[in-house]
Structure 1
Amino acid sequence: MRIVIFGASGGTGRLLVEQALHRGHKVTAVARSLDRLEPHDRLTLQPADVRDEHALHAIAADHDAAISVISRPVRAHGDLHSRGTHAIVNALQAQGVPRFICVSSGGVHPKDPGLPLWYRLAIPLFFKDLYRDMYAMEQIVRASTLDWTLVRASYLVDTPARGHYRIEDGHNPRGGSRLARADLAAFLLDELDNNRWLKATPTLAY
């Protein structure tokens, strides 16, 4: 499969690229800086700002699917998720790329009773701007004509994959607050293969 990965230079993105190549896919990696990715004969590096829709049109052409793991620092302000995803969605639709998997967060709905209490209390204090931007991102994906999946991940940690986690549709697994990036990357690629969660919002946590 020919996959374009947006946000490929981040912690999850690098693992996703590595796992996709291991599974035999052809990968186009997109991020502003791609210096931390190792060369591979099935890997194409495309430095770009995901908010630059004009650049994304050329990049998206001739791919079967796209995965977005774009992210910004938690305390940073801005609209990277919504603006970037708007550009990505428009480019994919224009270039006829049918499948799109977009990573969001369980914190998008701060009143979700499945979230730990400390998380629900922290969201309006520390993460309000971030999750407002992610909420707007989700609405852009849902309004698209793509075969989309919105994957809400719990707080991502740099630990070895466990190979198992809990999944709920549209709400956080009760009390779950952690997920290894490696497990998230594996789930994203599995979903490309099985399309179990088309037009759905699987939410992952241990």
Structure 2
Amino acid sequence: MTTLVVGASGATGKLLVEQLLHRGERVRAVVRSCDKIPATLLEHPLLSVVEASIADATDGEIAQYVDGCDAIASCLGHNLTLKGVFGHPRRLVTQAVQRLCHAASKNGSDKPVKFVLMNTAGNCNRDLNESISFAEQCVMALLRRAVPPHRDNELAAEHLRTAIGQNNASLQWSVVRPDTLINEAEVSEYQPHVSPTRSAIFNAGKTSRINVAHFMAELISDQATWNRWKGEMPVIYNQQ
């Protein structure tokens, strides 16, 4: 199996690449600069690196990235700087998801391509009509208007949920929703849930980036895990 990883040089993306390689999976990683990938990974025989900006790639280049891949994983996100949060492209994740899905649908694969999107516990799964308090609704409405990356996360997941849907012959998907991200050196106990078990605003949980990477790799490489969570938006927390 070959997995295309976009956002592969980010804090979680690098860990996902490592997790997949440890499972013996082939990885095609798209990065802005190879300097952001550890040398130990760059030397791995199962890793090929494409040095490019996914936002600036042409449709033909996107098609080349996707060609021959059995899975696509997006760990794309906005840099936590003034320019990264409020600058362009404001729909970085959404546009990448749309273009990657379009390319995958034209790929001519004899089985559906898996698409795993890293998202956020602050985004509701509208298939389940997840309820949140009125106070949280107010905060989310403010974030949606004032913080472009939050709306970008929502729209990216909505594209998979509505435009791709549950019965697409070319694509299957899962949206992984971690809560507050923290750094840990090793994979620890964590639990996936169908919906949030706590408020992402007023009672946030913690999810280590390496656990997010581990779960995304499990979705890609383990068919039983994929069958359980495809077409869903699992929320994961570190085990307390």
* Aligned positions, number: 203
Asked if 2 retains the 8 angstrom alpha-carbon contact of 1:29 and 1:44, the reply is yes
1:138-159 per-position Cα deviation (integer Å, ceiling 9, x unaligned) = 1111222311111111121112
Asked if 2 retains the 8 angstrom alpha-carbon contact of 1:50 and 1:88, the reply is no
- The alpha-carbon deviation at position 64 of structure 1 amounts to 1.2
The aligned counterpart of 2:188 is 163
For residue 62 of structure 2, the aligned residue among 49, 56, 61 is: 56
Larger Rg: 2
1:81-120 per-position Cα deviation (integer Å, ceiling 9, x unaligned) = 11111111112212136111111111124x9549xx89x8
The aligned counterpart of 1:41 is 45
For residue 132 of structure 1, the aligned residue among 148, 151, 165 is: 151
Amino acid at match of 2:150: Y
The aligned counterpart of 2:197 is 173
Alpha carbons of structure 1 residues 167 and 113: separation in structure 2 relative to 1, 3 Å: farther
CA distance in 2, matches of 1:161, 1:94: 38
Amino acid at match of 1:82: T
CA distance in 2, matches of 1:41, 1:14: 16
- The alpha-carbon deviation at position 18 of structure 1 amounts to 1.1
Asked if 2 retains the 8 angstrom alpha-carbon contact of 1:8 and 1:34, the reply is no
For residue 100 of structure 2, the aligned residue among 83, 88, 92 is: 88
The aligned counterpart of 1:107 is 122
Amino acid at match of 1:173: T
Matched position secondary structure for 1:105: coil
Matched position secondary structure for 1:156: strand
Asked if 2 retains the 8 angstrom alpha-carbon contact of 1:173 and 1:204, the reply is no
Asked if 2 retains the 8 angstrom alpha-carbon contact of 1:112 and 1:172, the reply is no
Alpha carbons of structure 1 residues 112 and 10: separation in structure 2 relative to 1, 3 Å: farther
- The alpha-carbon deviation at position 125 of structure 1 amounts to 5.3
- The alpha-carbon deviation at position 178 of structure 1 amounts to 1.4
The aligned counterpart of 2:127 is none
Asked if 2 retains the 8 angstrom alpha-carbon contact of 1:67 and 1:102, the reply is yes
Asked if 2 retains the 8 angstrom alpha-carbon contact of 1:161 and 1:181, the reply is no
Q: Tell me the TM-score normalised to structure 1 length.
A: 0.87
The aligned counterpart of 2:71 is 65
Matched position secondary structure for 2:16: helix
Matched position secondary structure for 1:11: coil
CA distance in 1, matches of 2:24, 2:218: 13
> Percent of counterpart pairs with the same letter?
25
CA distance in 1, matches of 2:63, 2:103: 5
Matched position secondary structure for 1:107: coil
Structure 1: which 5+ runs fail to align?
none
Structure 2: which 5+ runs fail to align?
125-129
Mean Cα displacement is larger for which, 52-61 or 3-12?
Answer: 52-61
Q: Tell me the TM-score normalised to structure 2 length.
A: 0.75
CA distance in 1, matches of 2:18, 2:152: 28
CA distance in 1, matches of 2:141, 2:191: 22
CA distance in 1, matches of 2:158, 2:141: 20
Amino acid at match of 2:77: S
